[in-house]
Amino acid sequence: MTLSLGDLSITPPVLLAPLAGVTDLPFRSLVSRWGAGLVVSEMIASGEFLTARPGTREKAELGAGGANTSVQIAGRAPEPMAEAARRVADMGARVIDINMGCPAKKVTGGYSGSALMRDPDHALRLIDAVANAVDVPVTLKTRLGWDDATRNAPDLARRAESAGVRMLVIHGRTRCQFYKGRADWAAIRDVVDAVSVPVVANGDITSAATARAALRLSGAAGVMIGRGARGAPWRLAEIAHALYGAPAPEIPQGAARAEIAKEHYQDMIRFYGPDLGGRCARKHLGWYMDAAGTPPELRRLVLTQTQPARVCALLDDALNRPDAEASDTASASPGKAVAATGKAVAA
C-alpha cells in the first residue's frame, strides 16, 4: 500500500513520529536504514529557527533533503511560519509538517502546538500561510481536540484540507490527556470520514497487533510510530513487514544488538560532539538496555560513564544477554533475527 503526497510516494505507510529530543538525525538515519515510509524531524520552533546563529539551522536540519524525510515546524504567527517553511523547503525538505498536536506546557503556553486547537480560525491562518508559501506538500499533525468537550479535529481537518493540507496525522488523545489512558483510535474515524486526503493514526502503536487494531478501528490509511520505536529502530520495519509484506528486517540480538547500540552512540558523538553527544545518547542507551533486561547496577554504570571507549566496552556486557531475545521479540511481529546490518531481507 502507498500514500501519495504530490510526486512523493510513502511506501509502506508506516511513519516515524516527531519526538523532541529523540528523532534527531542519527536516530532518523538509523530508522530509515531499517525501513520506514517517512521519518519526521524533531519540531522546529519557527521563531527560534529564523533567529538562530549561522550554522545552527543547518546542523539542526542536516538531512532535511532525505528522500523520505519530513520537517516539522511550529509557531503561533503566520509570517514566521511561512518564512520558516520557505527556508526549510529551500534546504531540500520534501514535505513540511505543521505541529498542532504537541501537548507540552512550554509549547502550548506560547500558543503553539495543540493550543491552536482552541482557536481554529487562527490555526487556519497559520495553515494558509504555510501552504501558500511553498510548493512541497504540507501535512498537519493534531490531536482529537483540546479536551473532551472540544473534540474538533474533524472540523479542523476539513478546513485544513480546503487550505491545501495533503495529509493529516491524528494522535488519538486530547491535549488534556497528555499521554495518559489509551489512545482512542476509533475516534480518529470521524476525521477519516470528514476528509478525502489520507489520514494516519498515531498513539500507542507499538507492534503489529496494535497497528492492525488502530487501522481497523480508525479506518486510517497508515500508522505513525513514536514511543514504540525507542530502543528498537527496527520496529517500523517489523510492522511494515507484518501488515504490508515489506521485506523482513534482520532483528539484532546479543552481540549484534550491542554493535547497533554502539554504532548509534558513536553516530551521536560525531554529530553533537563528545560532551553533548554523550548526554543526548543516554536516553537511547537506556531504552536499548531496558529491552535487554540489563541489571540495574550495570545500566547505571553505562549511563554514568563519560568516556566513549568505556561506554562501548560496557555495552557489550549490558546488551549481549541470553535473555534479551525472548523479552524483546515477544511483543513484536516476527522478523529475521540473525545479524546487525540494519538492512532488510526478502520475507
Give the model confidence (pLDDT) of 261-283 as tens digits: 999 999 999 999 999 999 999 99
pLDDT tens-digit series, residues 68-91: 889 999 999 999 999 999 998 988
Pairing verdict, β 44-45 and 38-40: unpaired
Amino acid at 195: V
Cα separation, 269 vs 326, whole angstroms: 30
Please indicate whether residue 226 or residue 54 has the higher confidence score (pLDDT): 226
Per-residue pLDDT at 48 exceeds 90: no
**Known binding site: residues?**
72, 141, 171, 226-227
CB 44 within 8 A of CB 60: yes
Q: What is the pLDDT of residue 54?
A: 55
Residues 236 and 35: their CA atoms lie apart, in Å, by 7
- Mean pLDDT over all residues of the chain? 88
3-state helix, strand, coil split of the chain in percent (to 5) is 50, 15, 35
pTM higher than 0.85:
yes
Length of the chain: 347
Domain ranges of the chain: 3-248, 255-326
State whether residue 334 is helix, strand or coil. Answer: coil
N-to-C CA span, the chain? 16
Please tell me the predicted confidence (pLDDT) of residue 341. 38
Residue bearing the bigger pLDDT, 287 or 325 = 287
pLDDT tens digit sequence for 29-47: 999 999 999 999 989 888 8
pLDDT band at 104 (very low <50, low <70, confident <90, very high): confident
DSSP letter (8 states) at residue 7: T
3-248 classified as CATH 3.40.50.300: no
Q: Which of 158, 287, 307, 148 is closest to 228 using CA atoms?
A: 287
Residue 322: the pLDDT is 62
Per-residue pLDDT band for 342 (boundaries 50, 70, 90) equals very low
Tell me the mean pLDDT in the region 112-133.
94
Among the listed residues 102, 176, 280, 312, the single catalytic one is: 102
Known binding residues for FMN: 72, 141, 171, 226-227
**Cell 502507498 identifies what position?**
2
CA distance 114 to 106: 11
Whether 176 sits among the annotated catalytic residues: the reply is: no
User: Which range (56-60, 231-235, 281-285) has the least confidence?
Assistant: 56-60
